Structure 1
Amino acid sequence: MSDHGWTRAMREERYEDAWAIERAVLAARDPATCDDPTLPYHQRWVWDGSAVDDRDVLVRCYHGLGDTLQFARFLPVLARRARSVAVEAPARLHPLLRFPGIALAAFDDAHPLPPSGCDIEITELAFALRCAPRDVPVPYLHTTPAPLPHDTVGLCWQAGDWDADRWVPPALLEPIAARHRCLSLVSAPTTLPVINPEGCPFDLAATAALVAGCALVITVDTMIAHLAGALGRPTWLLLKAAPDWRWDPARRDSAWYPHTRLYAQPTAGDWQTPLATIARDLDMIQGEDHGQPPQPVRARVLG
Structure 2
Amino acid sequence: MSQAGPTQALAAIHQAAARRIEVQDYEGAEGLLREAVAGGAAPMSTWRLLAMALRAQGKAEAGRDVLAMLARQVPGDLSNRFDLAEALLLLGDFERGWQEYRYRYSLEHTQAIERKVQRPRWDGRPIPGQTLLIHDEQGYGDTFQFMRMARWARERSQARVIFEVNPETLSIARRMWGDEDIVARGTLPVSFDQHCELMSLPMAMGLKLADLPGDVSYLSADPARVAHWRARLADVPKPWVALVWAGRPEHVNDRNRSMTLDQLAPLGASGATFLSIQKGPAASQANTPPKGMTMVSLSDEIRDFEDTAAILHLADLLVSVDSSPVHLAGALGRPVWVLLPFVPDWRWLLDRDDSPWYPGMRLFRQPARSQWATVVERVADELTTFVARGAPHAR
TM-score by length of 2: 0.63
Asked if 1:78 is matched to 2:153, the reply is: yes
- Alpha-carbon separation, structure 1, partners of 2:299 and 2:143: 27
- In the alignment, the residues of structure 1 paired with residue 111 and residue 180 of structure 2 have an alpha-carbon distance, to the nearest angstrom, of 28
**1:19-34 alignment, distance < 5 Å:** 19=98, 21-22=99-100
Give matches, 1:166-245, under 5 Å. 166-177=257-268, 179-187=271-279, 188-189=283-284, 190-191=286-287, 192=289, 193-196=294-297, 199=300, 201-245=302-346
> Cα deviations across residues 28-85 of structure 1 (Å, max 9, x unaligned)?
99xxx89999922169898635345323111121100110110001122122234222
1:262-283: per-residue Cα shift (whole Å, max 9, x none)? 1122222221111111001111
Q: Return the offset for 1:93.
A: 0.2
Give the structure with higher Rg (CA).
2
Offset at residue 112 of structure 1 (A): 7.4
Residue 256 of structure 1 aligns with an amino acid whose one-letter code is W
Cα pair distance change 1:232/1:68, threshold 3 Å: same
Query: Within 2, Cα distance between the matches of 1:158 and 1:151?
Result: 22
Residues 90-239 of structure 1: pairs in structure 2 closer than 5 A: 90-98=166-174, 99-100=177-178, 103-108=181-186, 113=189, 116-132=192-208, 134=212, 136-143=214-221, 144=223, 145=226, 146-147=229-230, 148=233, 150-163=238-251, 164-165=254-255, 166-177=257-268, 179-187=271-279, 188-189=283-284, 190-191=286-287, 192=289, 193-196=294-297, 199=300, 201-239=302-340
How far apart are 1:126 and its partner, in Å?
2.1
1:291 aligns with none
- Helix, strand or coil: the match of 2:189? coil
Report the Cα offset of residue 124 of structure 1: 1.2
1:157 CA displacement: 1.0
Q: How far does residue 90 in structure 1 lie from its aligned partner after superposition?
A: 1.5
Distance 1:83 1:275 in 2: 48
Indicate yes or no: 2:375 matched with 1:297. no
CA–CA separation in structure 2 for the residues paired with 1:36 and 1:12: 25
Amino acid paired to 1:83: A
Q: Deviations over 1:254-299 (max 9, x none)?
A: 111112111122222221111111001111233xxxxxxx321325
Q: How far, CA to CA, are the matches of 1:115 and 1:12 in structure 2?
A: 39
Q: Paired residue for 2:164?
A: 88
Comparing both structures, which one devotes a greater share of its residues to helix? 2
How many Å apart are 1:13 and its aligned residue? Answer: 4.6
Is residue 41 from structure 1 mapped to residue 116 from structure 2 by the alignment? no
- TM-aligned CA deviation for residue 12 of structure 1: 5.3
- Measured in 2, the distance between the counterparts of 1:267 and 1:42 equals 36
- Worse-superposed segment, 209-218 or 149-158: 149-158
Q: Name stretches of at least 5 consecutive residues in structure 1 with no aligned partner.
A: 287-293
- The farther-off stretch of 136-145 and 274-283 is 136-145
Q: Which deviates more from structure 2 when the two are superposed, residues 188-197 or residues 228-237?
A: 188-197
